[in-house]
Amino acid sequence: MKKITYYAFTFCFLLFGILSCNSDEDSKNLITVDQEDVNQSLNTKFDGKIFSIPSPILTMLLVKKVSKDFHPEYLAPTSNVDNYQSEFKRALLVGVYGADLGYTSMYRDKNKIMEYLVTVEKLTNSLGLESSFDKNFLERYQNNIDNSDSMMYIVADAFKNADLFLKSGDRKSVSALMLAGGWTESMHFASELAIKHKNKELTERIGDQNQTLETMISLLEVNNKQNSNDELIVLFKDLKESFDKITINYEFNEPETDAANKITTLTHKVNFDIDEDTLLEIHSKIKFLRQFIIE
Amino acid sequence: MKTNFLFVLLFLLTNAISFGQNCEEIVRNCEKLFLNEKGKQVFISDGQVYTAFLDRQEAEFSLTFYGGTTYRIAVSAGDKDDYVLFTLRDELGNVLFSNKNHKNARYWDFKIPQTIRVKIETELDTERKVTGCAVMLIGFKQ
C-alpha cells in the first residue's frame, strides 16, 4: 500500500510539473466564472494576458526610408557583451542587438552584420535559446547576406521561435525584456534621425508609441520576477509622461473590403500634434533609458 | 487495483503532454498562412506568437498598426476546420473587420495608409469547437 501511495505521489508530482510548464506563471491571473452560469465553465487564458509590441524591424524600415546613409555611430557597442552576467541584462540586450542586426542587414554592411550576428548568437546561447539561433539559422543568414529582404524574414522567424520557446517554457519575463530592448533601440534610431532630418514621418512614428508604451509597462509589470524590472518600469513610466503630451486626433471612416482578395483597406484620418520641445524631451529620455540598458 | 490506478495516471500524463504538443503544431500550421501559393514567405513575422486557451471566452488585446504597411492576421485552432473568429475594432469601438462575415477566414490582409490603434478580439466558433488552443500570428510587408 505504501508503495502505491509513493508511485501515485510521484506521478502526480510529474503531472503537475508538466502542466505548470503550459500554464501562466501567475495563477492569480486565471479567470474564473460564476459556477451558476451554465454557458461558461472554468476559463483560463493559456498565455495569460495577451500583449503585442510592434516589431522593431518596422521602425528600422522607416529609418532606412528616411536616411539612405548608414549610421554605425548609433549602433550599440558590442565590446562589453561578455560582461553582461545577469539574465535581466542579457535578455534586454538580445532585443537591442536584434534590432541592430535588423538595421545593419538593411544596409548590407557585411562586417557589421557578422559582428551583430555573433553577438546575438552569444547572448541567445547564454539564455538557452540555441534552438532558435542555431547553426541552421546562422547558415541561412550568411547564405542570404546579399539579400536584405531574406535576412529580415530569417531574423524575424528566429525571434518568433524564441518567443514561442520562452512562452512555452514559462519564461515570459525573458521574452518581455527582449521586446523592451528591441523597442528601445528602434526608438533610439527613430528619435536621433527624426531630430537630425526634421522628418515628419519619423516624428509621427515616435508620436504614436503611447499605446505601445502602455502595453510595455503592463508587460513588464506582469512579468516582474523578484521585482527585477522595477527600475526599468520607473524609466518607462517617466517616458510615458512625455508621450502623454502628444495629441492625436482620430476620425473614423468605413473601411473598404475586397472579399475576393481577402483584403481590407482602412480609410480613417489621423493627425498628430507633437511640438519640438516634447520631441526633444522624448529623445533625451530614450537616450537615458537606452544608456541604462546597455551600460 | 494498483494497475488501474497507474493506468489512469499514465493516461492523464499523456494527455497533458499532447496538449502542449498540439498547441505547437497549431503554431506551425498557422505559420504556413504567411506563404504564397508557390510556398514563398510573403509576410515578415512581428516576432511574437499569440496563444490562448479559449473556452467560450474571448481573448482581447490592443496593438498599433503602422501607416504604409500591409498586415496579415492569421489564426488557427486546428487544421480540420476554420474554428477561430476574430474581430478588429478601432479605439472608439467601431468594427473595422470581422472574419465571421467571411466564413471564418483563416487569414485576412489589412492595408493601413495611416497609423491606427486597434483592438483584436479572438474567440472560438462554438458551433465548430468549444475549447482548445487558439493561435494568432501577425505578419507585415511594405
Instruction: Give pLDDT, residue A34.
Output: 28
Q: How many residues does chain B have?
A: 142
Cell of residue B62, nine digits: 490592443
Containing structural domain, residue B72: 2-141
> Residue A233 corresponds to which amino acid?
I
Cβ atoms of B54 and B130 within 8 Å: the answer is: no
- For residue A34, being part of any structural domain is answered with no
Residue from the list A152, A259, A270 with its beta carbon closest to the beta carbon of B116? A270
Question: What ipTM does the predicted assembly reach?
Answer: 0.87
DSSP 8-state code for residue A225: G
In angstroms, what separates the C-alpha of B77 from chain A's closest C-alpha? 13
Q: Tell me the average pLDDT across B88-104.
A: 97
Do the Cβ atoms of A160 and B17 come within 8 Å?
no
Which of B49, B63, B70 lies at the smallest CB-CB distance from A160? Answer: B49
Has residue B134 got a pLDDT over 60?
yes
Q: Choose from A268, A270, A272, A274 for mutation: most chain B CBs within 10 A.
A: A268
Residue A255 lies in a domain: no
SS3 of A168-207: HCCCHHHHHHHHHHHHHHHHHHHHHHHHHHCCHHHHHHHH
- How, if at all, do strands B95-98 and A256-258 pair? unpaired
Give the bridge partners for B74, in sequence order.
B107, B137
**Is pLDDT above 90 for A20?**
no
Q: What percent of chain A has pLDDT over 90?
A: 67
For residue A239, give the nearest of A292, A182, A188, A283 by alpha carbon: A283
- Give the residue numbers spanning the domain of A170: 56-245+278-294
Q: How many CB pairs under 8 A join A and B?
A: 182
Instruction: Note the pLDDT of residue B118.
Output: 96
**Angstrom distance (rounded) from CA B9 to CA A16:** 11
What does the pLDDT look like over B100-126, one tens digit per residue?
Answer: 999 999 999 999 999 999 999 999 998
CB-CB contact of B56 with B126 (8 Å): yes
- CA of A211 vs chain B CAs: smallest distance (Å): 7
Q: Which of A117, A72, A70 is nearest to A98 (CA)?
A: A117
pLDDT of B46: 94
Mean pLDDT value of segment A241-248: 95
Closest residue on chain B to A155 (Cα): B47
pLDDT in tens, A183-217: 999 999 999 999 999 999 999 999 989 999 999 99
Question: What pLDDT band is residue B7 in, cutting at 50, 70 and 90?
Answer: low
Residues in A touching B16 (Cβ below 8 Å): 15, 18-19, 22
Residue B59, pLDDT score? 87
According to DSSP, the residues that pair with A257 across neighbouring strands are: A264
Contact criterion met (CB below 8 Å) for A23 and B22: no
Domain count, chain B: 1
User: Please, how many CA atoms are within 13 Å of residue B28, restricted to the half-sphere of its CB?
Assistant: 7
Conformational region of residue B22, where left means phi above 0, alpha means psi within -120 to 50, and beta covers everything else = alpha
Distance CA B84, CA A245 (A): 39
In a domain, A27, yes or no: no
Give residue B13's pLDDT.
47
What's residue A41's pLDDT? 29
| Contacts B97 to A, Cβ<8 Å | 255, 257, 264
Yes or no: say if A190 and A63 are a contact pair by the CB < 8 Å rule: yes
pLDDT at residue A47 is higher than 60? no
Bridge partners of residue B132, in order along the sequence: B54
Contacts of A33 in chain B (CB under 8 A): 57
Residues 220-279 of A with CB under 8 A from B: 250, 252, 255, 257, 259, 261-270
Q: How would you classify the pairing of strands A269-273 and A247-251?
A: antiparallel
Residue A43 is given by DSSP the state B
pTM as predicted: 0.82
Q: How far is residue A70 from each of residues A74, A91, B27, B38, measured CA to CA in Å?
A: 9, 26, 36, 34
- Among B19, B46, B50, the residue with its CB nearest the CB of A55 is B46
Domain count, chain A: 1
Q: Name which residue leads in pLDDT, A38 or B140.
A: B140
d(C-alpha A213, C-alpha A179), whole Å: 11
* CA-wise closest residue to A54 among A239, A220, A249, A186: A186
Q: pLDDT class for B55, splitting at 50, 70, 90?
A: confident
Query: Which CATH number belongs to the domain containing residue B100 in this structure?
Result: 2.60.120.380
